[in-house]
Structure 1
Amino acid sequence: MNKYQEILKQYWGYDSFRDLQEEIITSIGEGKDTLGLMPTGGGKSITFQVPALAQEGICIVITPLIALMKDQVQNLRKRGIKALAIYSGMTRQEILTALENCIFGNYKFLYISPERLDTEIFRTKLRSMKVSMITVDESHCISQWGYDFRPAYLKIAEIRELLPGVPVLALTATATPEVVKDIQTRLNFREGNVFRMSFERKNLAYIVRKTDNKTKELLHILQRISGSAIIYVRNRRRTKEITELLTNEGITADFYHAGLDNAVKDLRQKRWQSGEVRVMVATNAFGMGIDKPDVRIVLHLDLPDSPEAYFQEAGRAGRDGEKAYAVILYAKSDKMTLHKRIVDTFPEKEYILNVYEHLQYYYQMAMGDGFQCIREFNLEEFCRKFKYFPVPVDSALKILTQAGYLEYTDEQDNSSRILFTIRRDELYKLREMGKEADALIQTILRSYTGVFTDYAYISEESLALRTGLTRQQIYNILVTLTKRRIVDYIPRKKTPYIIYTRERLDLRFLHIPPIVYEERKARYEARIKAMEEYVTTENVCRSRMLLHYFGEKNEHNCGQCDVCLSNRASNDLSEKSYEELKRQILELLGQSPLTPAEIADKIKAEKEDIGQVIRYLLDEDGLKMQDGMLHISK
């Protein structure tokens, strides 16, 4: 057993690696710049966590997904591995404490959002860190050809210059050939080095159902295909509506979107993962880092705006290798909705400049002021005040971020945090804090570790349950302790932020370059067109279309998507004889279950044709096989 397998066994309990994991680990372990292309569910985190644990020093993990960051830090800590995270919304003192811990605290992982790389404080402290490797997750974000380009990723190349000789591992689940090339160029790979898993999912049937009544078709599919499901919709309101519809039909369901409290999200995720709830109805905020192997169906009620996004979301079905379905319900009106997204995502430049100007009035920012100011941002209030619609304003702020004038962070739920600012021995010498404050402090010390060295996330709800105090009492006590400089308590906040990366400029000097606007808009339109082609094409295997999009040469049809199944039926049998055989088979099985041989004896037709119709009905879930007998699926 080599050192990597020993680490895998010790911390994760697995005896062996999955496809490609070991090759990627060996490559980065040998100090080579490495790009790993692994579809959703391929086990990406193992490929950097194992080699980092095998070396001295700390691994810097760059990722834009704050929820995933927190989740992975928590999971590593549960395994006894020291890990930290730095992201937008943390105070300067918190960031400083975390970075000091990375230098002196023998930590193995620092998760950091790309925007934080460019800060003076980070770059200064980085020089004193012993860094073993850099991991760039969601590395397609560095490419301007990618579907989710983030300018902050371009700073990674500068970080590499500060860490000569430190290898980089780039990971992504979706990348077209031009993006694969671009990732390596922009990360200054010393030489090309790509490991790719095939994107083909042999157990996953891609289906497009054309329907004008999506809810009826949705219920029909969920009644025919059993097992756990995810239903993706475009907006938050729809998650709730569809959940209520399913619940009324006796199907257990929960809804999930970015606007929910963390505690609610965690609870719903656990209920769904344990099987207590069958269906999760969600926006695209759901799914990152979710490892549920037995999802039988991922269904899209609304079209995603790129094949990359669709492939990631659909790929959450059937990770256990068993048969699963990725279904899109498509109505003619969807085409119009898709094209409206282009206008919403890329509003006119004049509109963007107006949003920028109104932002200055909103914050009462004087000309030339604002550089590195951080402001909380309430989108609804802003839109109400200046008579805007939220979606294009959100897009305008993202374009201003891409152009380098500000940094607009997504809504973040920053749980309450606490750090004891005095030493443990000093705490015990304190008197007259009161019975309730004493009880609360004791409960915090019993419930959370490391509160003297690092900010710990706390839950007032859970402390209320353990102490018998109300949430308001806990809040009041912690505020008092903060005033007395015993603790530093940062109450929970749920808000997006605007961070000024430039001083306020006169509109005459505001320039949105083609690379940020025109070129990105053209590529966005091309992805919308590719998505449109995917759902409207009726003569090309769906799996082949997706693989071709990602540059994978695949000469064979999948044999299980809706296109392959309908071609198989119509190619091998005339429509008329197929329908007649299907009618006879279902009529016989309506009386009692039979074996395929018994059916063939009772029907006057070629055995091969009968077998073909039976196979088609099994694939389509019209029939099921049990103990060698065919039954009609209920």
Structure 2
Amino acid sequence: MLSPLEILKKYWGYTQFRPLQAEIIETVLSGTDTLALLPTGGGKSICFQVPGLAVDGVCIVISPLIALMKDQVYQLNKRDIAAKAVFSGMPFTEIDKTLDEAAAGNLKFLYVSPERIRTKLFIERLKRMKVGLLAIDEAHCISKWGHDFRPAYMQIKEIKQYIPKVPTIALTATATNLVRKEIIEQLNLKNCEVFVQSFARKNLCYSVIESDYKEKKIAQILHRIQGSAIVYSKTRKQTVEITKSLAKLGVKADFYHAGLSVKERNTKQDAWIKNQTRVIVSTNAFGMGIDKPDVRVVIHTDLPENMEAYYQESGRAGRDNEKAYAVSLFNPNDLENLEKNLQLKYPEISFIKKVYQSLCNYFKLAWGAEIWESFDFDIHDFASTFGLNPRDTHYALKILENQNIIFLNDAYFNPSKVKIIASSKEFYGFQLRNPNYEPFTKTLLRIYGGEIFTNYLIISEIEIGNLTFSSFDEVIKTLTFMHNQKLIDYVPQKSKPQLGFLSARQDAENLSIDYRELEIRKRNDKKALRAISQYTLNTSKCRMLMIQDYFDEITSQACGICDNCLKLKKAGLSDDISEKYALQIKNLMPVSMNKLEAEPFFEDKELLIKILRYKIDNQVWGVDDYGLIYEKN
């Protein structure tokens, strides 16, 4: 049998492991449950792929993103390692065949989404598989206190009953102490060994820039920093608009978002990976799991909701350990918008109860009735029936799902999409030649506006049908006809959205909501927002230190290359000593100047004065009417 290092050399061509990889792999091979926290680019996949090859049997990898699974399967197959994935949207026959291959021992790696492991088909095959290792990627998704919570991750420990002696390795790039604790509890990891690599990225220069003219600032940055780049924006529409603005400013770029067809996404992604496209303007999922080490700059045009997301996305720069840059652009409105979005995520309890009551009425459920089958569900029809705001309703449904009162299937989150691919002139010509279709085409434009000519927009066939007095099947028939005429690109749902009830119908007024859990989640989201706000507005503390503080890594070692560290150097202050002095002063606050000067710790009085002046000038600290130095919020 080959050793882990021999496996690494044979399949990956590397002669040595990265920091912590060897220790993690040896622990897994000893049969010990393991939690590994490695930053983006730290080589998490090697930590389960090498032991997966070393053990007898298949390694089951649970992963939340289809793109991530496909990329890793491709990389393994390229190395002549038998690997396949099972995910939503695959034909049943292909899923069945793949699971049969795993059960027959013909695969070394089987990637599955967390939603797939609950199916009878998967469980029956699992009973027949010889499993050597269970790997849970992006393990933070199991925690309600972290970001990207996925309810399906909570079901993982249930499948462990079928493979009780198989070791488990959970991996993530971002997890606070609270999230780490919940990962271990929810996955039922026994005598778990925890490995945490430092969150510090010594080659990555972080900076924050306030600007009301973001496109111009992006162009300036991209003119100054050469090499591959990612520009992250929150909406699909913005990715298109920013790309057009950059072209006018002399920067050639392309846009990418989930509304594009699979073919378009693959073409754009491949062109960027091969450096045929230098700059990609994208929504935040782009880059996840993509093996591209030479990204020189990542720019965020909008503030992320939490530090976990920002650290992961910005960490896609400089994975080759060469100097790279992570730039966050903001204006005061951005922070206000984050506050508003947080309020939307947590509707009033009375509204949640109203949505639940409306669901029961919509599906005509009798009080106390237990309904085990699921129902076709269209949120637009549901919301319009009861006069509810669709956006607010969506967030209420998400809370009901997280509270295990209802469930929503994959199709709910992947609705039908349409884009007009004909020109305005061609589309108008079709209306003139086909007057019978004119009410339908006008309704389409009235609902979705001119953006439907440039982006794939989510549509509701039921909503279109209600406005055109057509049945659901008639709407699909018309859309399909227009698709075949090459007027539109219609991407129908793979299946209808489904909603089901996980318990007997309850009295809406006494709904079984865990209010304490909901309040804790909201409080944690507020804490995460506060951390983003502090990171954005702080003009003196090392940005890498702020990130490390958030992830509970205790250190006072400043990075020396972020915008704030460079400002310190310009002011004649040393990074590390200044940080230690600042921390000591902060621990004594509120404090007078006389007391500080009397402290033996502050031997260098000139340095003390410099630090005080710097912090006060940058509005980090203030002096009150009594002459006491305090920290501003």
Q: Is the 8 A contact 1:147 1:306 kept in 2?
A: yes
Distance in 2 (CA, whole Å) between partners of 1:257 and 1:148 is: 18
Displacement after TM superposition at 1:349 (Å) = 2.8
1:440-497 Cα distance to aligned partner (Å, 9 max, x none): xxxxxxxxxxxxxxxxxxxxxxxxxxxxxxxx9xx99xxxxxxxxxxxxxx9846784
Is 2:143 the partner of 1:143? Answer: yes
Q: Give the SS at the match of 2:336.
A: helix
Of stretches 358-367 and 266-275 in structure 1, the one that deviates more from structure 2 is: 358-367
2-structure distance, mates of 1:106, 1:159:
21
Seen in structure 2, the aligned counterparts of structure 1 residues 237 and 46 have a Cα distance that, compared at 3 Å, is same
Instruction: Give the equivalent residue in structure 2 for 1:523.
Output: 524
RMSD (Å), alpha carbons: 3.1
User: Residues 179-218 of structure 1 correspond to what in structure 2 (within 5 A)?
Assistant: 179-218=179-218
Q: Distance in 1 between matches of 2:86 and 2:315?
A: 29
Moved more, 386-395 or 255-264: 386-395
Q: Residues 105 and 129 of structure 2 are in contact (CA less than 8 Å); yes or no, is this contact kept in structure 1?
A: no
**Corresponding residue SS for 1:505:** coil
**CA–CA separation in structure 2 for the residues paired with 1:167 and 1:527:** 33
Q: Distance in 1 between matches of 2:363 and 2:294?
A: 49
CA 1:370–1:298 in structure 2 vs 1: closer, same or farther (change >3 Å)?
farther
Measure the CA separation in 1 of the matches of 2:537 and 2:401. Answer: 35
**Structure 1's 107 and 193: CA in aligned 2 closer, same or farther, altered over 3 A?**
same
CA distance in 2, matches of 1:496, 1:565: 55
Distance in 1, matches of 2:278 and 2:385, equals 42
Mapping of residues 168-183 of structure 1, within 5 Å: 168-183=168-183
User: In the TM superposition, what is the alpha-carbon distance from 1:103 to its structure 2 partner?
Assistant: 1.2
Cα 1:113/1:372, change in 2 over 3 Å = farther
Range 30-39 or range 513-522, more displaced: 513-522
Structure 1 CA distance, aligned partners of 2:281 and 2:178?
34
Query: Closer, same or farther in 2 for the Cα pair 1:348/1:95, shift >3 Å?
Result: farther
Does residue 42 (structure 1) correspond to residue 9 (structure 2)? The answer is: no
Residue identity matched to 1:397: L
Deviation, structure 1 residue 84: 2.9
1:382-421 equivalence runs, <5 A:
391-408=391-408, 409=410, 411-412=413-414
Whether the aligned pair in 2 keeps the contact of 1:31 and 1:167 (CA below 8 Å) is: yes
> In structure 2, how many angstroms separate the alpha carbons of the residues matched to 1:23 and 1:205?
29
Q: Partner letter of residue 108 of structure 1?
A: K
Deviation at 1:366, TM superposition (A): 8.0
Equivalent residue, structure 2, for 1:83: 83
> What's the TM-score once normalised by structure 2's chain length?
0.73
Cα deviations by residue, 1:196-216 (Å, 9 ceiling, x for unpaired): 221101111110112222222
Specify the code of the residue in structure 2 equivalent to 1:157: K
Measured in 2, the distance between the counterparts of 1:273 and 1:557 equals 33
Cα distance in 2, alignment partners of residues 395 and 340 from structure 1: 13
Residue identity opposite 1:69 in structure 2: M
Q: Quote the Cα distance in structure 2 between the aligned partners of 1:360 and 1:110.
A: 39
**Distance in structure 1 (CA, Å) of the matches to 2:88 and 2:74:** 18
Aligned-pair CA distance for 1:506: 4.9
Deviations 1:484-532 (A, max 9, x none): xxxxxxx984678435252673552643322552221111111011110
Count how many residue pairs are aligned between Structure 1 and Structure 2.
Answer: 501
Equivalent residue, structure 2, for 1:228? 228
CA 1:243–1:494: 2 relative to 1, 3 Å:
farther
Tell me, yes or no, if the aligned pair for 1:298 and 1:327 is still in contact at 8 Å. Answer: yes
Question: What secondary structure, in the 3-state scheme, does the structure 2 residue paired with 1:571 have?
Answer: coil
Tell me the distance in 1 between the aligned counterparts of 2:234 and 2:496: 20
Give the aligned partner of residue 561 of structure 1. Answer: 562
Q: Show the counterpart of 1:542.
A: 543
1:308 aligned residue: 308
Corresponding residue number in structure 2 for 1:488: none
Match of 1:624 in 2: none
Distance in 2 separating the partners of 1:130 and 1:176: 34
Structure 1 length as normaliser, TM-score?
0.72
Amino acid at match of 1:343: Q
CA deviation profile, 1:397-448 (whole Å, cap 9, x unmatched): 322221123333374599xxxxxxxxxxxxxxxxxxxxxxxxxxxxxxxxxx
Going from structure 1 to structure 2, the CA distance change for 1:337 and 1:142 (only over 3 Å counts) comes to: same
Partner residue in 2 for 1:455: none
Asked if the contact 2:117–2:156 (Cα under 8 Å) also holds between the matched residues in 1, the reply is yes
Q: CA deviation at 1:345?
A: 1.5
- Secondary structure of 1:134's match? strand
- Quote the offset at 1:287 in angstroms: 1.8
* Aligned AA (1:220): Q
> Aligned letter for 2:155?
K
Structure 1 counterpart SS, 2:572: helix
Q: Which runs of 5+ in 2 are unaligned?
A: 417-479, 485-490, 575-633
Is 2:68–2:290's contact at 8 Å kept on the other side of the alignment?
Answer: no
Structure 2 counterparts to residues 495-506 of structure 1, below 5 A = 497-500=497-500, 502=502, 505-506=505-506
Residue by residue, what CA displacement relative to the aligned partner does 1:219-267 show, whole Å, maximum 9, x if unpaired? 2222222221111111111111111111222312111222221111111
Unmatched 5+ stretches in structure 1: 415-471, 477-490, 574-634
Question: Offset of 1:143 from its aligned partner?
Answer: 2.2
Q: Is the 8 A contact 1:229 1:280 kept in 2?
A: yes
* Structure 1 pair 494–159 and aligned structure 2 pair: CA distance change class (3 A): closer
CA distance 1:2–1:525, change in 2 (3 Å): same
Letter in 1 for 2:534: E
